Amino acid sequence: MLIIGENIQVLSARIKEAIDTRNAGYIQELAIAQVEAGAGILDLNIGPQKKQGHEVMPWIVEAVQEVVDVPLSLDSTNIVAIEEGLKVCKQRAMINSASADPARLVPTMTLAAKYNARVISLTMGVDGIPTTADGRAAIAMEALIPTAESLGIPYEDIFLDPLVLAVNCNQDVTTETIDAIRIFKQLSDPAPTTTVGLSNISNGCPEEQRALMNRVYLVMLMAAGLDTAIADPLDTEQNEFIRIVEDRDESTPISKLVVALYDATANMGEIEDSQVDMNDPAQVAILRTARMYFNHMLYTDSYLRF
């Protein structure tokens, strides 16, 4: 699985300070660490940067390119900033992102075509994000893919994102996102590439639970056909879950459970109690998290403690 490293993003106070002071050191350290941990692309999220985006994006691109040699994903709502960053990318870049809002869609796709960039395509429009998998697939088929194709963007360069929503606010649609991935993979042959912003699932949840929540949801999304994820490559246990799934490693009780979760999701089922050692807190935590995503357990911040 391709991991797009998420850690260089302006919501981090240290990243914001580094951008404001044009101090590249910490950003470069994070870039190196993410690549060494296995990230195949690095996302550079500078936020809107309405006034200085045209300066900030090329600066951060060049700073990162001084220390790592991987493609970059340019992440901003400032289309001018995106283009200035694309001009200095040494490798074929990715644009994060285009939505089906006409004000955003055509300008972003036009840039992708001009610079031969891949583009993350969000299944949301002017009315927001559809609550159903079918609604998200309709946006992909009726707006995102036709626009990209009309501009000559190769099908394989369109990364469809069904949009992961925070479970503490949108628990009822967690399975719809999984189902959307399934539908996307059936839209054509060859199937489109899929991606998600993984950590959105645990936004606003207790910090000590977030990594587990992300890992479990990633396994379930992989079972539906997910190809890539914007995620934290520094989470070594997440990387281990990916390896377990890809190798079908059932050598330990935890790895056996991870494979069981993958298989259950792939087959539209769920984990049975008999597959879990209820005396092992780590296994019980995975079981509870999966059942919460299946909507068979109500999410609360204390869901792991009962």
Cα dihedral: 63, 232, 19, 64 (round 10): 0
Query: Of 160, 6, 164, which Cα lies nearest the Cα of 75?
Result: 6
pLDDT of residue 215: 98
- Amino acid occupying residue 259: V
Report if residue 246 sits inside a domain: no
Neighbours of 48 (CB within 10 A): 11
pLDDT of residue 189: 86
The residue segments making up the domain with residue 62 are 2-232
Whether residue 42 lies inside any domain: the answer is yes
Structural domain includes residue 263: no
CATH code of the domain containing 112: 3.20.20.20
Q: Is residue 242 part of a domain?
A: no
* Number of domain units in the chain: 1
Is 33 a domain residue?
A: yes
Contacts 24+ apart (CB under 8 A), 26-32: 27/60, 27/63, 27/64, 28/63, 28/64, 28/66, 28/67, 31/5, 31/64, 31/67, 31/68, 32/67, 32/68
pTM: 0.96
Cα 70 to the center of its chain, rounded Å? 18
- Please tell me the predicted confidence (pLDDT) of residue 55: 96
| R_g of the chain computed on alpha carbons | 19
What pLDDT was estimated at residue 188?
Answer: 86
* Domain annotation covers residue 279: no
Rounded distance, CA 232 to CA 272, Å?
A: 29
DSSP character at residue 198: G
- Tell me if 267 is assigned to some domain: no
Give the model's pLDDT for residue 50: 82
pLDDT averaged per 10 residues in sequence order, the chain, 306 residues: 97 96 97 98 93 95 98 97 98 97 96 98 95 97 96 95 96 96 92 96 97 98 98 98 98 97 95 93 96 94 88
In a domain, 45, yes or no: yes
